């Protein structure tokens, strides 16, 4: 049983869960920001069949969402590393 739970597998699990949770938080923040700025549901910006759709608006929000998710990935990696160091007292395993 001990061989099944390796440092690499625990690191993978830690970083995956942290990434998932930060992605959910970022998605919520992007939708909230859209609602506050545009005063409408975020789905309008990304659905070309809706009446409020416009290509310039779509491109601006797609770019903003992409940058937000990219920053989230970096933040998630840093957070997972900090968590690992806090709980184990050592840096995470290399190669993942």
The three-state (H, E, C) secondary structure of the chain, written as one string: CCCCCCHHHHHHHHHHHHHHHHHHHHHHHHHHHHHHHHCCCCHHHHCCCCCCCCHHHHHHHHHHHHHHHHHHHHHHHHHHHHHHHHHHCCCCCCCC
| Residues whose CB is less than 8 angstroms from the CB of residue 90 and which lie 6 or more positions away in sequence, other chains included | 84
Whether residue 70 has pLDDT greater than 70: yes
Q: Is residue 82 part of a domain?
A: yes
Please give the tally of structural domains in the chain: 1
pLDDT digits (tens, 9 = 90+) for 29-55: 888 888 898 887 777 777 778 777 788
pLDDT of residue 11: 93
Is residue 12 domain-resident? no
| Percent of the chain surpassing pLDDT 70 | 96
In a domain, 36, yes or no: yes
Averaged pLDDT for residues 65-89 = 92
Q: In whole angstroms, give the CA distance from residue 80 to residue 74.
A: 10
Residue 95 covered by a domain: no
Q: What angle do CA 85, 91, 96 make, to 5 degrees?
A: 115
| 74 within a domain of the structure (yes/no) | yes
Residues 79 and 96: their CA atoms lie apart, in Å, by: 15
Residue 26 lies in a domain: yes
Give a yes or no: residue 3 inside a domain.
Answer: no
Q: pLDDT band for position 14 (50/70/90)?
A: very high
Of 21-25, 35-39, 86-90, which range is least confident? 35-39
List the domain range (segments joined by +) for residue 26: 18-88
96 pLDDT above the threshold of 80: no
Inside any domain, residue 96: no
pLDDT band at 95; cut points 50, 70, 90 = low
């Amino acid at each position: 049983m001990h061989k099944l739970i390796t440092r690499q597998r625990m690191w993978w699990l830690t970083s995956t869960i942290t990434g998932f949770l930060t992605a959910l938080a970022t998605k919520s923040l992007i939708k909230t920001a859209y609602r506050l700025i545009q005063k409408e549901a975020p789905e309008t910006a990304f659905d070309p069949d809706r009446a409020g759709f416009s290509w310039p608006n779509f491109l601006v929000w797609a770019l903003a969402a992409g940058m937000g998710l990219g920053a989230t990935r970096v933040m998630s990696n840093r957070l997972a590393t900090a968590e690992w160091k806090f709980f184990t007292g050592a840096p995470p395993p290399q190669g993942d």
